[in-house]
Structures are given as C-alpha cells and as structure tokens.
Structure 1
Amino acid sequence: MNTAPLAERIRPIELTEVVGQKHILGENKILNRIVNSGRISNMIFYGPPGTGKTTVANIIAKKTNKSFYKLNATNASLNDVKEVIATTNTLMGMNGVLLYLDEIQNFNKKQQQSLLEYIENGKITLIASTTENPYHYVYKAILSRSTIFEFKMLVKEDVIKGLKRGLTIIRDEIKNDVIVKDEALDYMGEVSGGDLRKALNGLEVAIYSTPPNSHGEIIIDLNIVMDSTQGKILNYDKSGDSHYDVLSAFQKSIRGSDVDASLHYLARLVESGDLISICRRLLVIASEDIGLAYPNAITIVKNCVDSALQLGLPEGRIPLAQGVILLATSPKSNSVICAIDRAINDLRNKEIGDIPAYIKDSHYSGAEDLGRGIGYKYPHNYKNNYVKQQYLPDNIKEAIYYNPGNNKMEEQFSNYIKSLKDLK
C-alpha cells in the first residue's frame, strides 16, 4: 500500500485537474497561457496553505526541460542555494535551472539577494511561494523581476470536489466499499478553511480508522468526520499578513455601520485570542471614525476595553461586543483625524513661523523684558469668556484645520463657535 499522504497521492499532474484558482488557471487565463507556452518566467505564488501553489509548481517543472530543484526556505541555507547555482555551469544546467523555493518569506535579505545575479542572466528561473504578502516580505529587486500570482482560498465546493477525487483513489486502493455521507463531505468542506490538504488528511483518518460493517462497507457519517477532523482553523497569524487584513476589515465594517460584519470580524479576532489588537483598534475607531459625532463613544469604549482586559477571554468577548455594536451603530465623523492630520501636514511642509510673543510663557522673572505675555487678553475677563485675538503664528494665521462634520453634535459645536465670533 502507498504510505504517502493522500494529499500527495492525488496531487494533480495536469492543470485541468487542479481545483479552484480559475481566475489564473482557467482556460485562456494568464498562468494557464504561460504554462502551456513552455516559456516560464520568474514567478511568485502567494496565498493560503493547501490552495495548490506547490502542485502548480510541480506541473510547471514537468513542462520544462530545465533541471528542477526544490528548497524550503524554512530549513534551507545559503549553502543550499549556492549548490543549486553551481549546477548552472554543469551539463545538468545547460538548459537552465528551475528553482522552486517554498516559503520564501523565511529567507533573509542576504539569502534572497544571492539569487539576483542568476535570475538576471536567466540561468535560474525562480518560482517562489509564500503564505504572506510578498510586497511585505520579498526583496523588492526580486519582486521587480517576477510575476506575482495570488492563489485564493478554496471555496467549499472546490474542497468537496478534491475530496471526491481523493475518495476515488482510496476506493481503488482498498478492497472495502467506502461510503461517505453527503453531510460528512459537506462538513469537511466547511471546516477545512479552504485548505484541501487539511480536508484530505481528515478524510484519510476517518476512512482508515473506521472498521467495515458486516457487509464489508466502510460508512463515514457526520459523527465520524467530526471525530476525525480538527475544528475549523482560521487563516490568522498575529504577526502575519492576515492579521492586518482582518483588522482592516474590522475597522472598515464599523466605519460602514455594518454591525453584523463588525461582529463577524470581532469573532475572528476573539477566536484567535488577539485581545490586545481588538482593544487598540476599538479605541482608535472611537476617535477616528465616530469622533465628535458622539463624543461619549470613546468613554464608553474605554470602559468596555478595560473590562475586557480585566476579564480576559472568553468572558472579555461580551464587553468587546458591546463596544463594537455601539460604534457600528453610532453616527460617524472623521473630522478629528482630518483636523490633526492637516495641522501635522502644515508643520511638516510649511515655514510656520514663531509663536506670537503674547501667548508665550510669561511665568518667570525677566519674561516681560523679552516681550513675553505683553498684550495677552485673558478670555475669562470678557463677556462669554471669549475675546478675539490671534493664536496661530503669523505665517499660518488664516489656516483652518477643523471642519465640523455633518451631524447634530458637531453642528451644535460649530454654531456655538460662530456665535462667539459674531459677538461685537
């Protein structure tokens, strides 16, 4: 019996057998055309695990006359790369070398740079794969010389299609009839998280751990696959690219007042145990996206965050959900972040000039001799605690940074300031 994992035994040898990735592998799609042309260029495959990156690289290797080498950057060294490069000057490398470098994000800059010279002269054709965003982890000189293809997470239907193919292989290998209930296949497709390799491993465990019945049938039902497969593994890494994708979707959903989507992404973060990121992002959102449209939001959210940090998870999910629902259903205004960013932009890009002398610190002996505080009008000595005077430096005295948002609260603030300025 073949002892290789099922995922390896059913690995496609033709592009038509690859499940999913129709956006790049479908008929007349770009990667399909490149592979069938036989003229292979440097490529980077980017996407979650179990989506076909290694499979497609193997198919490409079989369609070229180049010598094929495979390294995994997790455990490969610079010496391993040098050994591959050395073959370019031998008979084995006379037609060029195709190097498949898996998990390239684990190579440091020096290791990646060592490939450049040989990528440039065409002696090495590089196909690298990564589960992380290549724009964050791959050396820019390699990016500029490569075509990037994103492998997307498989949908449930794609995973089930792959499972059925695996089931056909197993049926050919063993003497017993194998019957997998539809609800069992559906469950494996659902909890796989788009990872076909994970789903196939679960199917194999379920089948080989289940004894045949009196009729010689191995029947796999929902209870068996639930017992044989792990729970759903989320595509989330606190230090990886998906971390920022989930947080971005979380904030944008709250900003868009979609309370259900907001709770969905909160659930992802809660399930990953990423309590600190949730708390920091909620505090930011309270000022960045709600701001003065509902000034009390940040106070309430701060209390929710403090409660969550004190409780920890899983109980902390409850005050966090309270904060999320509050923010998602609150009126929105970005006037606060726009105001401070305009002020910072002037500070960085303009000659702003000096602070007016009359509002400089004058609480020390000799300040008056320097002209500090002379002519300052103390607002509390005037009607309504307001008096018109210049506070900004001369060079930017007409600058306007705060533009009130279009909401009831900020309209009240705006009307109050206007009423002061209209006073004679």
Structure 2
Amino acid sequence: MEPDLFTAAAEDRQEKDPSSSPLAVRMRPRTLDEVVGQQHLLKPGSPLRRLVGEAGGGPAGPSSVILWGPPGTGKTTLAYVVSKATNKRFVELSAITAGVKEVRAVIEGARRATGGFGRETVLFLDEIHRFSKAQQDSLLPAVENRWVTLIAATTENPYFSIISPLLSRSLLLTLEPLTDEDLRALLRRAVSDERGLTGAVALPEDAEAHLLRIAGGDARRALTALEAAAGAALAKHEAEITLETLEETVDRAAVKYDRDGDQHYDVASALIKSIRGSDVDAALHYLARMIEAGEDPRFIARRLMISASEDIGLADPTALPTAVAAAQAVAMIGFPEAALTLSHATIALALAPKSNAATLAISAAQEDVRRGLAGPVPAHLRDGHYKGAAKLGHAQGYIYPHDVPGGIAAQEYAPEAVRGRKYYEPTRYGAEARYADVADRVRERLGRGEQGGAPSA
C-alpha cells in the first residue's frame, strides 16, 4: 500500500476523533487564508495562489514546487493546503526512508487514480536534498508529463542540493522563519480552537513567552511543547499552563534533538561556526548539546577534522594532527570517556589562530579548472619512463630540483592557461606567517615574483 497520509478514510477518522492526531496536525491550516506567516507568498495574484487556481482559470505555471526554508515554517502545511484547494490526492514521502521503488509506486498509483477516477495527485516529498542525483532523476518523467504535482521540501540551498533539470521545471518558493507574532497567533488559536485544546486550559503570558523562546521560530516545536504542557497541566487538574509546569515538561526535551533531522545539522553547524569564531565557551556549549543528545562521537570527530583544515590550516599546523588523534581516540574508547577527548580537541581548535587560506586556494584552483583553464601539461613535466617518450619530447629539458643549489629549479610548472596564477595567499596569523615568507621567496626564485596576482573570481 502506498503511503497516503490524507486519504478520505484518514480524513474521516480525524474529523470523528480529532484527539487521535497530534496538535500540530490538528491545527494544520485548511486554506491559504489560515496559514500563519509567509505573507510574501500569500499576496493576491502570487504564484502560490495561482497554483491553487485563485487567480482565475485554474492552476497556472509549473506543476511542481520546491519549498525552501527552515524547519517548522509550514512546508508540509502548504503542500497539504494545495492538495485540498485543488481537490487532489495527497501522498507524502520522506527522502530519509523512501527510495526509487517507493517513488515509482506512488507515480504509478497517481497514473491509475487519474485514469480510473479522474483525480490528480499531489506528491509531497520531504527533505528532497537527501535524495541522490539518480533518485531525483527518477522524478523527472512524472514532473514533465504532469502525472503528479510534485511539492518538494528542503532545508538546504536547492541550487546546491537539487539537480538542475528538476529545479528548472519547478516553482521555487523561499519560506522565512516565523516571527514571534506569527507563533503567538498560532498558539492562541491552538488554545481556543475546537480543533485544538478547545479552551480546556489557559496559557498565561509568562508561559506563552517561554514557549516562544524555546520554539525558535519553529511552529511544529511550539505546538508540540504546548500539547505536552497542556497534557501535564490537565493531569494535575490545573486551569492554566503554569511556567513551572511548562519548564518541567520541556526541560529535557529542549536538550534532545533528532539525530536524523534538522536540529542535528543546526547544532553541528553552530559548533563549527563557534570554533571558527574562536568562541571556546560557545563551542563547548554546542559540543555538550550534541553529547547529551546521544550524538555519534565519530560524527563530531569528523566535523572537527574538517574544521582543522577549513578554518585553521597552516596558521597552526598542529590543529589537524590534534583533530585526527582525537578521532582515533574516540573510535577506540567511545562514550562517556570520549567526551573528554572531544573537549580537548574542541578547545584546541577554538583557541588556535585561524586561516582559511588553504580552503580559498583549492576553491580558486577548482574554479579555474571548471572554467576550462587547464591546458596540456608542459612537455618537460610529462612522464618519460616509457619507450618512445623522448621522441615525443616528453620529460626533455626537465631540471631536477635536487641538482640545483637551494633545491628550487626555475622552470615552468603550470599549464600555460593558468601560468602566473596565485592560488595560495597565506595570512600572517600564527605559524602561517612563516609559510607566507617561504612562499614569497620561492615565487621569487621561480621568477614569478608579484606577477599574476590572485586568481580571478
């Protein structure tokens, strides 16, 4: 059976027994006018309203939509509203668990539903950035032939995570984080609405303010915390959700995060950015959150190794060996002792001098190669260890650096297309100052001096 979360039977069950669904599901808007926030997408005549046929004459434009935005901003909600407004079947898949087989099954089911019952299908694909190129390719026939209305959600930049053919055939809508005012309206609606708590418990201002703080712009998180706190308050026969009850309910949950979800990447990103910013205390905070959430210590160690090269490089040549040693130690000892090793490495990296010169150097070199600035390898540098190489002029005239005083042979090494390019521009921070001096002296010996400049962007 294909995973259709909103078949007629499921909707009927929800209407007869609303309490069977989570509060976040029960409060899901049924029309675009009920959507909280995202007003830049909901203006009269907007592409989203045209998609649901509100601009006159039925849906217009691309039959596929990519929703890009932070978690809890309404991506699933908008997909559901589109299906309801256009009277289409709604089928949801998650790229975390689904593969090509599941996608093909949904597409085949959509073709049968269209041919047999005349009802089209909205396929909501959550976290599409988790799909490989081949998996995304499998969606193209359905999109091109309009067998389904594809609505794909992603928290990652779609220009980096979604294949160009799919992106070019879709309407890209960017969702913004919900404001406190948006969330306040949503919480108050959930407390009073018959689909929500029906006024069974009150939400005082101090508890409401705390909910807004812990929600962090995430509507789903806000409603989940509200539901848990309301349940606790009612269990204690309280007429309102006190701040004490709310804190007791969400205290431990606030530390936890889904290791397969968005918070996993948000906290990891914050750890690395705190190290990059040399804020050792903030870095230790995020490290502690990851440890307390049960994060795989090997994942943390891998991120530290990347940071050592990306953000520190030759400003402190010991940073990478420290991170690598930490990764090896973590693999051998595991938690809880691995926390000490990860702390050791995190502190060392956060307090190390910073340089992204190595990162910029390889990025600039790769960019030149992608632009076609490669050219043939100079003949004197080519392999000369085979019969006939000399006749081709390969390896002829090569100067062996070890035979030259100082070990630096002034000859052309780069292809002509990138001759004179300077990819490595060292900083004067930490140990890299010494490498900067060495690079200047070597370039002078090679006859390059100041020519060429930095590679163009």
Per the normalisation by structure 2, the TM-score is: 0.64
CA contact (8 A) 1:116 1:141 kept: no
- Looking at structure 1, the residues matched to 383 and 20 of structure 2 have their Cα atoms a distance apart, in angstroms, of 81
Gaps of 5+ in 1: 361-369
Alignment of 1:245-284 (within 5 A): 250-257=271-278, 259=280, 262-263=283-284, 266=287, 269-270=290-291, 271=293, 273-284=295-306
Please say if 1:116 is aligned against 2:138: no
Deviation at 1:168, TM superposition (A): 0.5
Change (3 A) 1:256 1:17: same
Deviation at 1:231, TM superposition (A): 0.3
Please say if 1:179 is aligned against 2:202: yes
Amino acid at match of 1:72: E
Deviation at 1:405, TM superposition (A): 2.9
Per-residue CA deviation, residues 315-345 of structure 1 (Å, 9 max, x unaligned), is 5445434433443443333444556677887
Alignment of 1:263-342 (within 5 A): 263=284, 266=287, 269-270=290-291, 271=293, 273-306=295-328, 308-310=330-332, 312-313=334-335, 315-337=337-359
Alignment of 1:11-50 (within 5 A): 11-25=28-42, 31=48, 36-37=54-55, 39-40=59-60, 41-42=62-63, 43-47=65-69, 50=72
Change (3 A) 1:342 1:13: closer
Deviation at 1:167, TM superposition (A): 0.9
CA contact (8 A) 2:67 2:151 kept: yes
Deviation at 1:147, TM superposition (A): 0.6
Aligned residue for 1:69?
Answer: 89
- Looking at structure 1, the residues matched to 321 and 169 of structure 2 have their Cα atoms a distance apart, in angstroms, of 50
Aligned residue for 1:52?
Answer: 74
Alignment of 1:237-252 (within 5 A): 237=259, 250-252=271-273
Change (3 A) 1:18 1:297: same
Q: Once structures 1 and 2 are overlaid, which stretch shifts more, 401-410 or 52-61? A: 401-410
> Residue 73 of structure 1 aligns to a residue in which SS?
strand
> Residue 219 of structure 1 aligns to a residue in which SS?
coil
Aligned residue for 2:241?
Answer: 220
Change (3 A) 1:84 1:211: closer
- Looking at structure 2, the residues matched to 400 and 394 of structure 1 have their Cα atoms a distance apart, in angstroms, of 11
Amino acid at match of 1:324: T
CA contact (8 A) 1:357 1:373 kept: no
Change (3 A) 1:59 1:323: same
- Looking at structure 1, the residues matched to 351 and 397 of structure 2 have their Cα atoms a distance apart, in angstroms, of 49
Deviation at 1:29, TM superposition (A): 6.2
Amino acid at match of 1:68: K
Aligned residue for 1:143?
Answer: 167
CA contact (8 A) 2:83 2:90 kept: no
Deviation at 1:390, TM superposition (A): 4.7
Alignment of 1:368-387 (within 5 A): 386=406
Deviation at 1:128, TM superposition (A): 1.5
Alignment of 1:195-206 (within 5 A): 195-206=218-229
- Looking at structure 1, the residues matched to 414 and 396 of structure 2 have their Cα atoms a distance apart, in angstroms, of 16
Change (3 A) 1:372 1:187: same
CA contact (8 A) 1:352 1:394 kept: yes
Amino acid at match of 2:226: L
* Equivalent of 2:377 in 351, 355, 365: 351
Higher alpha-carbon Rg = 1
Deviation at 1:18, TM superposition (A): 1.9
Please say if 1:165 is aligned against 2:192: no
Identical counterparts, % of pairs: 30
Change (3 A) 1:408 1:80: closer
- Looking at structure 1, the residues matched to 361 and 295 of structure 2 have their Cα atoms a distance apart, in angstroms, of 34
Aligned residue for 1:365?
Answer: none
CA contact (8 A) 2:29 2:35 kept: yes
Per the normalisation by structure 1, the TM-score is: 0.68
Deviation at 1:115, TM superposition (A): 1.2
Gaps of 5+ in 2: 1-16, 386-394, 446-457
Alignment of 1:406-417 (within 5 A): 406-407=428-429, 409-413=431-435, 415=437
CA RMSD of aligned residues (A): 4.9
Amino acid at match of 1:151: L
> Residue 124 of structure 2 aligns to a residue in which SS?
strand
Amino acid at match of 1:3: S
CA contact (8 A) 2:309 2:359 kept: yes
Please say if 1:78 is aligned against 2:94: no
CA contact (8 A) 2:83 2:89 kept: no
- Looking at structure 1, the residues matched to 108 and 438 of structure 2 have their Cα atoms a distance apart, in angstroms, of 72
- Looking at structure 2, the residues matched to 234 and 247 of structure 1 have their Cα atoms a distance apart, in angstroms, of 13
> Residue 70 of structure 1 aligns to a residue in which SS?
strand
Change (3 A) 1:87 1:170: closer
CA contact (8 A) 1:259 1:325 kept: yes
CA contact (8 A) 2:315 2:354 kept: yes
Change (3 A) 1:14 1:241: closer
> Residue 148 of structure 1 aligns to a residue in which SS?
strand
CA contact (8 A) 2:180 2:212 kept: yes
CA contact (8 A) 2:36 2:186 kept: yes
Q: How many residues are matched?
A: 394
> Residue 91 of structure 2 aligns to a residue in which SS?
strand
- Looking at structure 2, the residues matched to 3 and 145 of structure 1 have their Cα atoms a distance apart, in angstroms, of 39
Q: Once structures 1 and 2 are overlaid, which stretch shifts more, 388-397 or 405-414? A: 388-397
- Looking at structure 1, the residues matched to 421 and 168 of structure 2 have their Cα atoms a distance apart, in angstroms, of 42
